A and B are shown apart, each in its own frame.
Chain A
Amino acid sequence: MPVTQETLQTVQSLEKKYEAGFVTDIESEVAPKGLSEDIIRFISAKKEEPQWLLDARLKAYRHWLEMPEPHWAMVSFPPIDYQDAWYYAAPKNTNRPKSLDEVDPKLLETYQKLGIPLREQEMLAGVAVDAVFDSVSVVTTFREKLHKAGVVFCSISEAVREYPELVQKYMGSVVPYTDNKHACLNAAVFTDGTFVYIPEGVRCPMELSTYFRINEAKTGQFERTLIIAEKGSYVSYLEGCTAPQRDENQLHAAVVELIAMEDAEIKYSTVQNWYPGDENGKGGIYNFVTKRGLCKGARSKISWTQVETGSAITWKYPSCILQGDESVGEFYSVALTNNMQQADTGTKTIHLGKNTRSRIISKGLSAERSNNTYRGLVRISGKAENARNYTQCDSLLIGDKCGAHTVPYVENKNPTATLEHEASTSKISDAQLFYCRQRGIPQEEALTLIVNGFCREVLQHLPMEFAVEAQKLVAISLEGSVG
């Protein structure tokens, strides 16, 4: 793409920086630096946890010490010094506010800056929000209305106190602590997260949403999300994340577990916009997340939609285990990398039940010197009669210094199953760009237009509020990458 020096400079001067990169000056309480059994005991004591949870944490920690780091992903980073970080940071003055009026105004301001006006959302949008600031869930809105419907939507520490039997039964049942090193670390040190329980036959009256934010320097965020949808229920859940701009790398190792019983449906959407580091790859979040859903009952459905624009490194494979007969798994993803970002993301779909269906649509975009990998597994077990899978992964390269890779694993052990896999890699065609420019659309806008068209198939699966945000995010993340 021929671009004169002048245009390049104009673009650079216009380049929008990471908008969520501010730091909120809030006094916070942190645990001593480093990781040890004592720290885990400290976290557990701080959260006034029951003995069984502490035992589970310690068991996971001991296992973690022996577990090797996963290295198969196409990402490179210096070894992580797990001792050089804080594992617990909570804003002071948050003795579980009962309503928004009791929340520290500075915190509310932070969320306002991020574009999550909690108060307004409570009034207008009708989206229930659980906001997690560093390690602690700050406020959960709309509890009353949800409570009437029988839906439980609270922080995981609250759930441990109030619904211990549910937490004990399901936590770790989809992602056991032995799964991988990052999930194991999370099981040992997780500080907060969200718990959702939808009772039988209930259609959750509103979208549920969590915003995660890392504020403190050198802290890791280890939240845990557990969603249980009982027989015939439905829930749509949104997750968004941001972090301030910092020079050092911060670790985010979350675990998300979804369980869908008979005829239940869970729709899980993520817009991930952690701080990606600067143009030279300095700083940024290491986003090592384990997300997995279990379609336990017959005709259940789990749908993952993700827009990944942030993080220095993304290592994330939201998966579906299709255990119930006729269950359905879906995965829609847009992963965008710019500058020095690295993403290795995709999905795992494991067909166990009869007549199970899955659909995987992945769109990868790489610009500048970034690397973007789709890695996905589709496994049809011998008993999954008439299973059906369709996978499509397309990659778009913007510039000649980036990389786009596709690593699918397709395993079929059942002759009645049908599997289709398609992938393509190309750049934005000059003809399309020329066509737009000829009609007076500036280069930058034309690019955004084409890219949005490329991602449309995925973006349309996001709830409306998110779709608009995601489109803007894609445009902002790409700015400055023309040429």
Chain B
Amino acid sequence: MTGATTAKDEGFMQQGEPLAAALPWLEDARALEKPAAGWVNALRETGADSFAHTGLPTPRWEGWQYTNLRPLAKHKFHYDPAPVNFDAAALPAPLLADAGRVVLVNGQYQEKLSTLPEGVEAASLMEAAAQKWPGIEDQLVRVGDLAQTPLTALNSAYLKDGFVLRVAKGRDIEQPVEVLYYNIGAEKDAQAAPAIYPRALYQLGENSGLTIIERHMGQGVYLANSYIAAAQDSASRLRFYRFMAESGDAFHFSNTALQQEKNGYFEGFSSATGGAVARQEFRLLLIDTLNSASIGGIYLLDGQQSHDFTILADHFEEGGKSAQHFKGVIDDQARAVFQGKIHVRRSAQKTDGYQSHHALLLSAAAEASAKPELEIYADDVKCSHGATSGFLDPVALFYLRSRGIPVDDAKDMLVESFLNENLEKVSCEPVRDLYRAQVSAWLAGRRK
């Protein structure tokens, strides 16, 4: 299997030396106040040790060859555990009028600004740990292989901020819950900038249902490195929508891990418009039988943006279904990356897995890279993937223009219809409309 060496051969990349600049980042972690729960401390240490060993990934690592973290070295990122001062009135208004709300500012849970529908409970991570909420230790400690995910290791080293949200057994919550991750960063050219390490856990009890709308936003320069876990008990249903619209000077890295027990249903969707360098990682673990998990997404990139969707659908047991649908538009010198993997273990017979990625390049300097991967150890499965990359269809464009539609309008129409195919997979209608509005706004912004 893949080991750690430093050679570059045959063009396929592998592990390399850490970014030297990365190591001072741990300074603040060792100084954190010791928490009440022993496991928190243990996880911090594991994370710090792992990160000290690996450092930040470089393009020579398998899985990191397309996202370069070098721009991070321009700033010196520091973690500050002190409460942040901010103007609550200046926070963005909720997206949906009737939704519940959880607010985090620079990763810190704001209890006073949060309102929750009946049947949903939330607490800051440290509080939930102190009160020993059932399951959280187990669900937060399962972070996967930290040596392969150095940013998650870093997040673990700083384990303190964030929150836990739980839905009781049998409760089907109709009202969506908006989770706002608002980040306040430094001035654009500042050397020192805040590093933010939130960790969130969504716990769904047996046979419960919940809709989450995550918004990642902010201003200025900052590093938002989050770890988000969703633990679904048997027969629970989670709809998870994300708007990644971080500040244009910010760095966003999120690792979202889903664990499904039996008969779970998960529908995930994410849009990526913000961030200078960003990577959204999703790990869908279909641990028991008859689970269904789908994840979709769109990206709209321009300027010098670099965005990376890295997805793993891991089938452990029989009868699972997973789907990955990604589409995106790239303009200017932006770069888009899709790395998807379906892993079917020996015991996961009768698995259905699907993966697709389609990129539309709008400018000569735009770049799209895809690595749709299948790793299959069971024979009675159906797995396939498709990936394409190309330009706007000149015939379609000509058709529209020949009907008197101006070229820019025609282009917008084609982009909208290209993305619409994916948006239709969003089952929650008000959220689908929000995504549509986001696409229109992006296209309008481009024409200015």
Contacts and interface: CB of A to CB of B under 8 A. Distances in A.
Nearest to B338: A410
Interface in B378-411: 378-391
Nearest to B355: A423
Contact of A419 (B378, B385, B390): B390
Interface string B126-151: 00000000000000000000000000
Contacts of B349: 400
B11 A421 contact: no
Given A180-B7, A181-B7, A404 B376 contact: yes
A12 interface: no
Contact of A422 (B10, B375, B380, B386): B386
Interface residues of A, number: 50
A433 interface: no
B361 A415 contact: yes
B388 A403 contact: no
Interface string A207-232: 00000000000000000000000000
B387 A414 contact: no
Contacts of B11: 348, 377, 379
Contacts of A406: 372-374, 385
Contacts of B1: 74, 76
B388 A419 contact: yes
A4 interface: no
**Could you tell me the dominant secondary structure of chain A's interface residues?**
strand
Given A410-B370, A419-B387, A424-B384, A71 B379 contact: no
A179 B383 contact: no
A70 B13 CA distance: 10
B417 interface: no
A411 B375 contact: no
Residue among B7, B66, B381, B389 with the highest chain A CB neighbour number at 10 A? B389
Contacts of A74: 1-2, 375
A69 B365 CA distance: 35
A123 to B, nearest CB: 42
27 contacts: A68-B5, A68-B6, A70-B14, A74-B375, A179-B9, A180-B10, A181-B7, A181-B9, A375-B12, A382-B365, A395-B374, A395-B376, A397-B376, A405-B375, A408-B372, A409-B369, A409-B370, A410-B369, A410-B389, A412-B359, A419-B387, A419-B388, A423-B372, A423-B385, A425-B383, A426-B383, A427-B381
Interface in A25-84: 67-72, 74, 76
B191 interface: no
Contacts of A181: 7, 9
Report the contact-size class of chain B (Cβ under 8 Å from the partner): 35 or more
Interface string A84-104: 000000000000000000000
Contacts of B423: none
A433 to B, nearest CB: 13
Given A406-B374, A407-B373, A425-B376, A70 B9 contact: yes
A278 to B, nearest CB: 22
B384 A425 contact: yes
Contacts of B373: 405-408
B362 interface: yes
Contacts of B6: 68
Residue among A68, A179, A410 with the highest chain B CB neighbour number at 10 A? A410
A163 B90 CA distance: 79
Interface string A440-455: 0000000000000000
Contacts of A377: 11-12
Contacts of A465: none
